[in-house]
Structure 1
């Protein structure tokens, strides 16, 4: 579903000046017990770093013996995941990558862990928004990748339960051929947008929608502690008949069913590239007064059926190869600053990126949990399912 060509070149640590990312989830689960699935190797399942395997060659050997990796919610044109996955396959040809439900929300990724607990069908790894990561730590296994020290402390759980991978900027995109120019959110109240304006998911369940809500809230005069203006905006948009709650996919974008979407810039650039080949001009913009950024986080299922392959996947994602592939997809990889310092960043790709405008809107775990609860209590009863 997605990709981008707009990125910030400020310090990664400065993008989200979060004081701490300590785990916020409870220590128990009503649906699963501790440990990996019954078929998983206990040594691999309990490994908390590469040292527990001995070396990278030892980790690769253990992963090859498992021979499979289960991933979920990784659309191929979301942050260039298609190339990320294909490159992993080429690098480790003995490991079959099983991809499920590419358009799943962060919440649905956790649901898949719970539903498939103890089976070989469970996701080995997840890629989730901060709000879901911080409140789902009871499902994650602690693991610190080789590049751990290069990930800013503010962007990782101190015990290794999850860590930031990449981010984008929240934006609004639209079919410029059909709708002309959009300069503000107020423009979306025009009747010409009837039934075509969408968030990418539900705000309490999907990271993109959560952050899209925060952007609209900021532009409507709200703040992280005053969320009502954002809800009022979407209620007004619904009452005008312009808000659609149809799931955003390539198909809905291509068909015109979704004419306007709140989404990450790396996804908007993917839409733009795809539609250009079909003769459609897809435009998107960010707003200097509402530069919402939030990292998607990587985590390992503590009951991963392929625990060695899961850990190899994490090591791969935090290698220069994979980080540059995320960069190529328009996202800001978490190791960007470190890679600029050590010379491993792809300078040609970096040169094509544009700078962040204005100040960022970022939030802590506590903020995300509080906002998620507020949305759970207010979105459906105001906007509907």
Structure 2
């Protein structure tokens, strides 16, 4: 899934340099809700990148927006880095994307590159501080928390790891994916670091953890895809909770055991950002607001993603798709997204040197 890959192209994007500072049409649009609705209906179109129907139930959201506001949607799936590059390369072209869904760790880059439009929506105060930019350039719509998914065809359910400590003592292969490319893989490494006393500025405990697994020949080279999971090539996989739940549901929920590591994990999210040169800025603002509304948050939960707003009352159908809140015992959040953004650019080299090179 392209959504998992965020780092490729970020270095190129940074080298290109800051964009022009001229005010765009999107930046000059009104934030009055009645005006947004009226003008969005006139635009009648919204074009996104990296927001495919199959991810976090975006399809349900786009259907609702079309049915309620007569705004028609199209998407091209791509990584967060590719989305930001698309924002920049298209400029004020009529074919430029209006919005995207990007990992929080690349949001500081998007702000520095002057690629985004500020818009807080009326739900701003209900979003935790760790999940939003103080000026309104970005805010998470949903969270992802690093989890373990165990294939009980390969590992007995009783031996499914519930903590990093238990995972370290196992005799099965562990898949984490491509740390040099994937957001999910990078947060998996970060979660291991936090659980062992590190953080986004000190990844050594996480690198040491996986280096030990490498010495024991326990790191799987298989990609963390639903196809490999179904084929039985992933005994234990470290990935976002919403992907674990979604994959298990699509294959056979009874076959898998999903656990949140009790000795520490990381929760982050994805932010629905608006291109400052959006050809349909009002439709983009309407979509961002709808995503944060009660209906929008419920749609995300129906796609196995935990809503960012805690006060939304979920129907039973959505609750059943999520793990109990009591499973999330020790959850960390990145405190310095700018620092984490810089670190992710180095993770591929660090992984190859400190983990894959371990003997």
TM-score (norm 1): 0.74
Q: For 2:120, what is the secondary structure of its paired residue?
A: coil
Give 2:160's aligned residue. Answer: 182
Deviation at 1:162, TM superposition (A): 0.5
1:140-289 pair list within 5 angstroms: 140-180=116-156, 181-183=159-161, 184-185=163-164, 187=167, 192-193=172-173, 197-202=174-179, 205-276=181-252, 281-289=255-263
Give 2:344's aligned residue. Answer: 372
Structure 2: how far apart are the matches of 1:250 and 1:55?
43
**Matched-pair contact (CA < 8 Å) for 1:105–1:207:** no
In structure 2, relative to structure 1, the CA distance for the partners of 1:379 and 1:114 (3 Å cut) is farther
Deviation at 1:247, TM superposition (A): 4.1
**Matched-pair contact (CA < 8 Å) for 1:123–1:301:** yes
Indicate which of 248, 255, 272 corresponds to 1:298. 272
Give 1:327's aligned residue. Answer: 301
Give 1:354's aligned residue. Answer: 324
Deviation at 1:298, TM superposition (A): 1.9
Structure 2: how far apart are the matches of 1:214 and 1:230?
6
Indicate which of 66, 72, 80 corresponds to 2:50. 72
**Matched-pair contact (CA < 8 Å) for 1:34–1:303:** no
Structure 2: how far apart are the matches of 1:243 and 1:154?
32
Give 1:21's aligned residue. Answer: none
Deviation at 1:201, TM superposition (A): 4.5
Q: Unpaired segments of 5 or more residues in structure 1?
A: 3-25, 37-41, 340-344
Q: RMSD in angstroms over aligned alpha carbons?
A: 3.4
Where relative contact order (Cα < 8 A, 6+ residues apart) is larger, the structure is: 1
**Matched-pair contact (CA < 8 Å) for 1:220–1:230:** yes
* Residues matched between the structures, number: 337
Deviation at 1:212, TM superposition (A): 0.9
Give 1:342's aligned residue. Answer: none
In structure 2, relative to structure 1, the CA distance for the partners of 1:71 and 1:87 (3 Å cut) is farther
**Matched-pair contact (CA < 8 Å) for 1:166–1:296:** yes
Structure 1: how far apart are the matches of 2:351 and 2:188?
14
| Per-residue CA distance 1:259-310 (angstroms, 9 max, x = gap) | 4321121111111111117xx7022211121132112222112222332322
Give 2:6's aligned residue. Answer: none
1:327-346 pair list within 5 angstroms: 327-337=301-311, 339=312, 345-346=313-314
In structure 2, relative to structure 1, the CA distance for the partners of 1:308 and 1:351 (3 Å cut) is closer
Indicate which of 56, 74, 82 corresponds to 1:108. 82
Q: For 2:140, what is the secondary structure of its paired residue?
A: strand
TM-score (norm 2): 0.79
Structure 1: how far apart are the matches of 2:221 and 2:40?
43
Indicate which of 50, 74, 91 corresponds to 2:31. 50
**Matched-pair contact (CA < 8 Å) for 1:172–1:285:** yes
